Amino acid sequence: MQLEPHSNFKNFFLIQHPIISYKLALLRDPTTNRKLFKELTEEIAILLGYEATRDLPQTTRPIQTPLETFDGKDLESNQFVIAPILRAGLGMGDGLLKLLPMASVGHIGFYRNEQTLQAVEYYFKIPPNSEKALYLVCDPMLATGNTAVAAISELKKRGVGHIKFFCMVAAPEGVEHMTKHHPDVPIYGASLDRELNENGYILPGLGDAGDRLWAVK
């Protein structure tokens, strides 16, 4: 079964499933503690990744079962790079790595200037590009979209062509911004929330994902 894009955004795929919605509601609850928050983040990332990889090309190879030979399925390529955007992306990155344990992991460091809401790069360490590799970039909150757009622009500057972006909660403003700058990059998310507030936080959202994931406040 192929995923259908969202009716308003042709590169946004809203992954709707009762288990994801249940886990996301727990994440939004401010009484959810850090341990559970991290576990839920990983689990949602696995579920999103599972749906988003439906289109991976496959090959067939003969397998000898204990009883007979069988045409088994293989992935055409096992080259994946998981690229969490620091800090909040790390939790989703751990989940995606459980789904794709053969992946390499890169790290993209951006922080948000709280006055301008612009993304400021401070770290970029990505495994060398291979044309075949699929890059899975993740950041749980697609808010203004400034960080996601900047991170993907940096990857493209390094020749990366095959990218999928993962978030848990998206704001329409962030999806629009991504669509404008990177219409070729599909976005997979568990929720499309209402709007951004004046400080660039998603409403209803779940608060500051990085702070909650790493128990900073």
* Contact footprint for ligand URA (CB under 6 A): 88, 141, 143, 200-202, 205, 208-210
Residue 202 CB, nearest distance to ligand URA (Å)?
Answer: 4
Residue 101 CB, nearest distance to ligand URA (Å)?
Answer: 27
Residue type, 46: I
The three-state secondary structure class of 1 is: coil
The three-state secondary structure class of 86 is: strand
Please report which helix (H) or strand (E) contains residue 136, including its range: strand 134-138
Q: CB-side exposure of 130: number of CA atoms within 13 Å?
A: 11
Which residue, 126 or 143, is less far from ligand URA as judged by CB?
Answer: 143
Which residue, 124 or 201, is less far from ligand URA as judged by CB?
Answer: 201
The three-state secondary structure class of 178 is: helix
Residue 167 CB, nearest distance to ligand URA (Å)?
Answer: 10
Residue 88 CB, nearest distance to ligand URA (Å)?
Answer: 6
Residue 214 CB, nearest distance to ligand URA (Å)?
Answer: 11
Residue 34 to residue 11: CA distance in whole angstroms = 32
Which residue, 143 or 190, is less far from ligand URA as judged by CB?
Answer: 143
Which residue, 4 or 114, is less far from ligand URA as judged by CB?
Answer: 114
Helix (H) and strand (E) counts in the chain: 6, 15
Which residue, 184 or 195, is less far from ligand URA as judged by CB?
Answer: 195
Residue pair 93/105 in contact by the 8 Å Cβ criterion: yes
Encoding tokens for residue 40? Answer: 């839920």
